[in-house]
Amino acid sequence: MVPTKTSVVPSWLVFFLIALMTDGEEEPTCRLLGKFDLHGYVESTNHSLIIGGMFPIHSRTIPENESILEPVSAKCEGFYFRGFRWTKTMIHTINEINQRKDILPNITLGYQIFDTCFTVSKAMEGTLSFLTGQDENKPNFRCSAGAPLAGVVGAGGSALSVATSRLLGLYYFPQVGYASSCSVLSDKYQFPAYVRIMASDKSQSSAMVQLILHFKWVWIGTIAADDDYGKYGIKIFKEEIEKSGLCIAFSETIPKIYSKTKMETAVETIKNSTAKVIVLYTSDIDLSPFVLEIKHNNITDRTWIASEAWITSSLIAKPEYFPFFKGTIGFAVPRANITGLKEFLYDVHPSKDPNDNITIEFWQTAFNCTWPNSSVPYNSDHRVNMTGQENRVYSMSDKLCTGEEKLEDLENTYLDVSQLRITNNVKNAVYVLAYALDEMSRCVEGQGPYVPGRTCAYLDSFEPWQLMYYLKVLKFKTHDNITLELDDNGDVTGSYDALNWQLNDDGKIDFVKIGKYEFTKSGFELVMNNNSIFWNTETLELPKSVCTDLCKPGTRKGIRQGEPICCFDCIPCADGHVSSQECTRCSEDYWSNAAKDTCVLKEVEFLAYDEALGFTLVALSIFGALVVLAVTVVYVIHRKTPLAKANDRELSFLLQLSLIITLLTSLLFIGKPYNWSCMARQVTLAMGFSLCLSCTLGKTITLFLSYRVSKSKVRFISIRPLYQKLIVLISVLIETSICTAYLVMMPPKVYKNMESQNIKIILECNEGSIEFLCSVFGFDVFLALLSFLTTFVARKLPDNYNEAKCITFGMLVFFIVWISFVPAYLSTKGKFKVAVEIFAILASSFGLLGCVFAPKCYIILLRPHRNTDEMVGGKVPPTDRSIQLTPASSSSEMNMTVSTVVLDD
């Protein structure tokens, strides 16, 4: 809550009480502890209000002799032309405001400006002088003569603003920063009276990270000044870097007081690091000795990212430093033009005020001469050589200034108005206080902001905290038509120009704008023009800054224990995985190529017609079918011969048909499998074997009964051929029923087998139900077993041509083939698994064909003299002549009767 006016004791009452206490005493009860040696510009006479200012007109203080015991205000050295320009800009701005009629009419502003010498101690001296003055010896009272102080502009660097604002904040005394970007200053609990028109380092750090991400750098070094600006700036930067998944290679500091050891440590770290991109978070003054160290060590292969505090500083941007800092990229506050400032800067001369020691020192330093009758050293230069020893120059120049020297002949930072960035901030900072005072002056009693009573504050008697209210709600347009508005933290929205150091035709460094970082409706956005960037590399191409090179395609990152995530080992991806950065599994139909950088379609494997094995099997199948057809032709031609009619001619034809079916069924196993082919192949094979084996069973039963007759004296029982055909029909119907249930309930279907071989997709048939499959072929095995048992018993029939022996051998071949097939089938994979099954089908079919029909064809074609009823039927041996045998082999074609034996009573 803002304090109310009634909580403040009137100053006249305090002075009155102190006067009473000191009345009659010979000596005052309080005294000054020391007199501050402050230099600057004061214009407070005949003005309504005073605005304070703090600028680094010098770059450092002179360390005092350690033997001096009493406190002495430090002297300053190292004339800083840039800070002198800022000082003159404030004076120019106040003069401009005083001439305007729309702001503070009938009110004139004066100024009191102190030189901070870029040190905290001098900044604090100036702050205490603003608060208390040094005209009287009363502590905690403002004893300075002249108009009241409205606010302070300053104090330059972040460390100075942090120190001064802690003191000014105790009194809620308004302070407007123009160059301090330290993020901690946004904390209104610590710095309640501090506002600034310089964006916080949070914006700059975010811009730097966006720049790094834009150029795909991942391995970054950081160097910061050993002060609040450097420490807090790098802290925010590191936090943003970690959020983005990037890595800090090293983090070093530049000491405020020169230390050769620390400088060498920082430089050695840079030389030994693989990081090619380094962020420099420091002011130009603190950076100067570090630049000399970089030059001394000839480090030329680094790309520097500059903070706004030095990116446009002529103290660093010198041609002699360009080989080491060429291509530097950094962010700077937007540039502006200030009307009339250039003329005002040129309007400076020592003769205008003989007591203006600052102007005299500027003249002497700029023209390297000594002003007549002046005690000011012509060049208070302070350098540090590479051995760490200090070299100071305080001697008077042999050359006297004539006063005729022309500023137009100088190439000086003070006169350079091409890069008015912080200078523009100085102008805006003064206007912040002026607009706030103007708003205060327009307050209407009863409508004011202060409670109770909605009272107003007046310019001739306001308290500092009352002005803070207007600063917090301030919003106005600057001279370059930009709306300036402070947020709740006293900050403005960050906007930066991205600059690149390039050498122009005159051999000077140009700050080329290559992009910008600004606030848009969707948030902050970085826009870059990559084509206009000059890079500090031999090839003038984008540098690469990594701890470890990106893993080649086909490998992945492996974490190194105890090291940042940007440092890793490259580990080959597992089979079936590919990578550009991380290994990812290929989809199921794909597999990694040899380089493991691309997923390629897996090879689809099946037994194809156009390969050697498939073609051979097709040829064998067709050949077998043709052989069976040839046998059928032979049977048709010689159908009336005894051997062709033996044991039912129709069954022989059905058996030949079944063999054709089984032989051609193997063609369904070859080629790309489909759902229909998967269903057809097993069912067709099962039906073919069922027909084949049932025909064989019909034959073997007849032979079995004939054998039983031959062993016993029986009466003859006539068995008609119809019964043999009924056996075939019933067997086929049973098999058909099982196959139909199989296809309806759990049919086979195409299956992509990816487990057997990772690099291949084996197209095969999923048989659906093993139980059904076992039932289908189990019935065939049952028929085969019955056929074998019956024919095995009948193999000793006394016929000259005994078909039972042939069928027995055929069934033996059938069983041997399929018993051998089972382990061979289970031990093979892919297309060879199908080939094994086809071999089994062909082998068993050829076995039955050869054993059953080859002997008959041999006799029919090559031994026709044996193809007679006597030779085919044979005779009963003499010892058995009492047994009357009518063998099956001698039965007639259609009305054949087979006599079975029944024992006589």
DSSP string across 513-578 = EEEEEEEETTEEEEEE-GGGPPPSSTTSS-----SSPPPPTTEEEEEPTTS-TTSEEEEEPPTTEE
Tokens read off for 859: 């006799």
Tokens read off for 662: 């089984």
In this structure, the strands spanning 599-601 and 603-605 are unpaired
H helices of 183-283, in order, are 201-214, 228-243, 260-272
At 142 the pLDDT is: 52
Q: Domains of the chain (ranges plus CATH)?
A: 40-63+73-199+340-348+422-488 (3.40.50.2300), 201-332+495-528 (3.40.50.2300), 555-601 (no CATH), 612-868 (1.20.1070.10)
Q: Which amino acid is at 881?
A: R
Which of 184-198, 239-253, 527-541, 652-666 is the least confident region? 652-666
The continuous run of DSSP H or E covering 511 comes out as strand 509-520
Quick one: pLDDT band at residue 679, thresholds 50, 70, 90? confident
DSSP state of 298: T
Contacts of 796 by beta carbon, 8 Å cutoff, 6+ apart: 707, 802
Cα-to-chain-centroid distance, residue 641:
89
Which of 49-58, 648-657, 889-898 is the least confident region? 889-898
At 758 the pLDDT is: 75
At 144 the pLDDT is: 56
Rg, the chain, Cα only: 55
Quick one: pLDDT band at residue 383, thresholds 50, 70, 90? very low
Q: pLDDT tens digit string along 853-863? A: 888 888 888 88
At 790 the pLDDT is: 77
At 896 the pLDDT is: 32
Tokens read off for 125: 């001296």
Q: pLDDT tens digit string along 59-75? A: 988 877 665 566 788 88
- Give the mean model confidence (pLDDT) for residues 362-384: 74
At 341 the pLDDT is: 96
At 521 the pLDDT is: 66
Distance of alpha carbon 67 from alpha carbon 580, whole angstroms = 68
Q: Which amino acid is at 460?
A: D
